[in-house]
């Protein structure tokens, strides 16, 4: 009997130890996502401060990541999810339901991946590129573990939001978001969107990434980069700003061998006009020949080039040219460093007159 009682006592001791060990293990496995997210919000300036923002105007640049600097860009954002982006002849709007793009006067409605992308980024941009965008879904975040990213440690969490799992990489030391990764496009292709957030700077008491790179992994496309230069918080923005951008570009007038048009946009001191290829054909100017243009009484003669493939061939730094460069509208630009604004004082909407330069 003594042996039996000893066996029972031993079994009881093992059972108690096992329960205590299991309980300790369970406590060790408690998901730390909530704490990591709280540390992130504390690091960038506080969740409440971000949620209080009603309107944003963000100025900067947007373009191919391999360019030294993209085109000038302005983002207008209004709660709950309205967006307008203006950049070099392009206007994109989203009113929370419908999205439209107007490219040099040609209007199209967004659908499919483009509409889904507008809906996602409207919330992302509006909340200063922060995790506030995910709202209540943050409470359902799941910790995926700690990883090494170069010399840095990072926490990786998964946030289920509107049917998609977003993988968020948060740097362990700074507590700032470094990357957000999520499925993009056709699921059968396995493509993923990677948003990289770098170079945080403080605006109105909140840390904002001033370099945001958008890369589609698994698709042959150059990553795009958004550079933030200014962040403003106006008291209000009109709803009309986010309506369909039905912008029409009136054609130039040809009279007595002179095209009279206007400056549609000013891109870093080089100009974009309302002159299309058909208008140059009507003028009788062929690629390689020279044209003269006049703005506010000042004139200049420059070479007319039909496209980038022939335009930059043999061009010297400092050459002026009239060229269809990445747009269906005629640009007047200085090749290399500098701009035409060194000679002219350009403004959007100014009249411009163009004619064939007399051949000597």
Say what the pLDDT of residue 307 is.
67
The proportion of the chain whose per-residue pLDDT surpasses 70, expressed as a percent, equals 87
Say what the pLDDT of residue 23 is.
34
Confidence of residue 57 (pLDDT cuts 50, 70, 90): very high
Say what the pLDDT of residue 316 is.
63
Spatial contact of 229 and 61, defined as CB atoms under 8 Å apart: yes
- Residue 100 tokens read as 């439209």
Q: How many CA atoms lie within 13 A of 298 on its CB side?
A: 10
More reliable by pLDDT, 259 or 343:
259
More reliable by pLDDT, 7 or 134:
134
Confidence of residue 12 (pLDDT cuts 50, 70, 90): very low
- Residue 324 tokens read as 């269809």
Q: How far apart are CA 306 and CA 292, in angstroms?
A: 16
Say what the pLDDT of residue 184 is.
83
Classified as helix, coil or strand, 148 is strand
Q: Name 168's bridge partners.
A: 157, 180
Domains detected in the chain: 33-130+173-242 (2.50.20.10), 253-356 (2.40.30.90)
Q: How far apart are CA 300 and CA 341, in angstroms?
A: 12
More reliable by pLDDT, 359 or 80:
80
Q: pLDDT digits over 247-282, tens only?
A: 888 899 999 999 999 998 877 678 889 999 899 999
Say what the pLDDT of residue 13 is.
45
Question: In the predicted model, is pLDDT for residue 210 greater than 50?
Answer: yes
Classified as helix, coil or strand, 140 is helix
Q: pLDDT digits over 93-114, tens only?
A: 999 899 999 988 888 999 888 8
Element housing 109 (H / E): strand 106-109
Q: pLDDT digits over 71-83, tens only?
A: 789 999 998 889 9
């Amino acid at each position: 009997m003594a042996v039996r009682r000893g066996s029972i006592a031993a079994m009881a001791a093992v059972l108690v130890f096992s329960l205590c060990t299991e309980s300790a293990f369970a406590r060790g496995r408690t998901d730390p996502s909530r704490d990591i997210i709280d540390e992130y919000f504390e690091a960038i300036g506080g969740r409440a401060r971000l949620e209080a923002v009603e309107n944003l105007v963000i100025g900067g640049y947007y373009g191919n990541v391999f360019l030294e600097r993209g085109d000038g860009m302005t983002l207008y954002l209004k709660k709950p999810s309205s967006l307008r982006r203006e950049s070099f002849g392009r206007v994109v709007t989203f009113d929370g339901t419908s999205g439209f793009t107007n490219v040099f006067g040609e209007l199209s409605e967004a659908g499919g991946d483009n509409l889904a992308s507008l809906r996602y980024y409207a919330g992302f941009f509006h909340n200063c590129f922060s995790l506030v965008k995910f709202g209540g879904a943050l409470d359902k975040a799941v910790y995926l573990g700690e990883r090494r990213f170069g010399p840095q440690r990072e926490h990786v969490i998964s946030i289920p939001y509107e049917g998609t799992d977003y993988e968020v990489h948060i740097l362990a030391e700074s507590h700032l978001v470094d990357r957000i990764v999520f499925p993009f496009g056709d699921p059968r292709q396995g493509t993923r969107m990677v948003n990289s957030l770098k170079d945080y700077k403080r605006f109105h008491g909140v840390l904002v990434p001033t370099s945001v790179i958008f890369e589609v992994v698994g698709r042959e496309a150059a990553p795009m980069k958004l550079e933030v230069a200014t962040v403003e918080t106006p008291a209000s923005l009109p709803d009309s700003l986010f309506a369909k951008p039905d912008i029409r570009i009136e054609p130039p007038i040809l009279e007595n061998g002179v095209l009279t048009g206007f400056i549609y946009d000013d891109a870093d001191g080089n100009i974009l006009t309302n002159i299309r290829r058909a208008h140059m054909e009507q003028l009788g100017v062929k690629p390689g020949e020279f044209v003269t243009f006049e703005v506010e009484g000042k004139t200049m003669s420059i070479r007319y080039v039909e496209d980038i493939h022939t335009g930059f061939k043999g061009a010297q730094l400092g050459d002026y040219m009239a060229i269809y460069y990445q747009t269906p509208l005629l640009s007047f630009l200085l090749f290399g460093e500098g701009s035409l604004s060194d000679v002219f004082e350009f403004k959007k909407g100014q009249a411009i007159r163009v004619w064939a330069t007399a051949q000597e």
